[in-house]
Structure 1
Amino acid sequence: MRTALSKRESGASRKPKRGEVSALDRDLVPERIRAAGKIATCPFVSCGDTDSRYALQTMSSPPPVARRRGRPKAGEAVDAGAILDAALRAFARHGFDGVSVATLNRELGVSHNLIHQRFGSKAELWRAAVDHGFGRMVRHMEGVFDPTISDPLEQLRLAIRSFIVFSAEHPELLALMDIEARQDTDRLAYIYETYMAPMYGGIGRLLEYLIAEGRIREVPLRTFHFLIAHGAIAPFTLVPLAEHFDARSPMKPRAIQEHAELIADLIIAGVRTDAGTQVEAHQENI
């Protein structure tokens, strides 16, 4: 049975409806998404400049917030993005129950009640951090598809490759899902209904089209998701284990690009039918 957030955790504020962006993070969600009142639908993400600043092993200690000497007063302006980045890493590493807001305040070097005054209860902080992190994914998702690529199968390859690169930049999103997906809770439902279901709507339609055209074999959307989201990008959240297999860091830009290219090629080769291969050969000869 789905475990509801306690009244104490959820506070008195209204729970956002399906597809609605939390009011606590509306300033961090794209303007046109906020205007629409819901998250845009688009499969996967585009890639950005790759680095390892979000590697999972750094999640235990949030980066310091630039400020003048001494603790800021509760009413002083503190960068919301820095607070939410730190909160997201903390929830991804320790889980909802394991995060102490008081400890987070101390690590950020802010007054003991600043986070509570800015975001409310811990449940509201969690939702704001999720909106912040997955909202960032939405902004990347908007530009993933290349209009110069006419072959839907190549668009699928591009989506897979781009998603892997983005996930290397933000491994805290997968780490959070690894924790939240273990139990059927309201928190899991919020992530799935607000972000995952809309995101996979487009990729699901693309898979259905390619299957109907005989380009790829039948691939359940669930299988496709777990192959990529909890398989291909696992080295970015399990860095120590990955380095037991290969001493080179999986978080290096070149390693990320090579990994993304290889995974995209392997998946496309695995799902492509003979008809799909013939279409590609024909296009290459044109």
Structure 2
Amino acid sequence: MGARAESTRRPGRPGADTPAVPDEESILLRGLEAFAELGYDRASARELARRLGVSHNFINDRYGSKAAFWRAVMDAALGAQLASMPPVDTSVDDAEYLRRVITGFYRSAVDTPLIGRVVVVEFAQDTERLDYLYEHYFTPTLRLMTPSIERLVAAGRMAPVPMDVLFFAVVPPVSGMLDTPLARRLGRPESASPEQLTATAESLAALVVNGLLATGTAGPS
């Protein structure tokens, strides 16, 4: 009897019509796009799989859960952003260092607006996801600025500011770097160039830092 042709796929061997799984970088970027557009709750496992171009059980098999996939997406996006922040430099004037950190933060938002969209949504929800962002990314960013701020306050160059006020003075303005319908209604060009957006980031950073250093206005007693 002649050799029988193999009519079925062997276990573990992909069929000829099985789509190739995207590489890890593409998967995480598509995940970021989905979470930025839909938010966490509306980004169902099925919808994520469709957008990623993978099987419906891929996320659970690869990452363990949708929550773990979200953390992997944030680590890929925000980890690179945090790594790009200027390191502590004691040879630089504290006000100048503060300006550099805040400017770098806003410039990163220009380069990666999808991150800003995710973060802005997460601000308003008391979830484990907010805890994760706070512990792994917001706190390290504030830690970069804290020594300079303490020295500026001690030198009388900056008024004492509670941490929550400082945070909301620095971080929420990042929404101004996002390409939103409101920004266009307020006068931003329909197709703002990268150079224009970078200039906007620098102007916003200067406005925030100058405000923080304006010690002439008394705060609430």
**1:82 paired residue number:** 26
Alignment of 1:181-200 (within 5 A): 181-200=123-142
* TM-score, normalising length: structure 2: 0.79
Amino acid at match of 1:153: A
Matched, 1:94 2:35: no
Matched, 1:72 2:19: yes
**1:27 paired residue number:** none
Matched, 1:223 2:165: yes
SS at match of 1:89: helix
Output the CA distance in 2 between the equivalents of 1:168 and 1:251.
11
In 2 relative to 1, CA 112–272 (structure 1 residues): closer, same or farther, beyond 3 Å? closer
Could you tell me which of 76, 81, 90 is aligned with 1:132?
A: 76
Alignment of 1:1-286 (within 5 A): 71-72=18-19, 78-141=22-85, 144-145=86-87, 150-231=92-173, 233-249=174-190, 251-272=192-213
Output the CA distance in 2 between the equivalents of 1:223 and 1:205.
17
CA RMSD in angstroms, aligned pairs only: 2.6
Bigger relative CO (Cα 8 Å, ≥ 6 apart): 1
Output the CA distance in 1 between the equivalents of 2:34 and 2:42.
9
Output the CA distance in 2 between the equivalents of 1:115 and 1:85.
14
Amino acid at match of 1:114: F
Q: Which runs of 5+ in 2 are unaligned?
A: 1-15, 217-221
Task: Please tell me whether the aligned partners of residues 119 and 125 of structure 1 are also in contact (alpha carbons under 8 angstroms).
Answer: yes
- Give the number of the structure whose alpha-carbon radius of gyration is greater: 2
Deviation of the 1:149 alpha carbon: 5.7
Number of aligned residue pairs: give it: 201
Once the two structures are superposed, residues 142-169 of structure 1 have per-residue CA deviations (whole angstroms, 9 ceiling, x without a partner) of xx14859621111111111111111111
Output the CA distance in 2 between the equivalents of 1:148 and 1:187.
34
* TM-score, normalising length: structure 1: 0.62
SS at match of 1:150: coil
Output the CA distance in 1 between the equivalents of 2:214 and 2:44.
51
Task: Please tell me whether the aligned partners of residues 177 and 201 of structure 2 are also in contact (alpha carbons under 8 angstroms).
Answer: no
SS at match of 1:107: helix
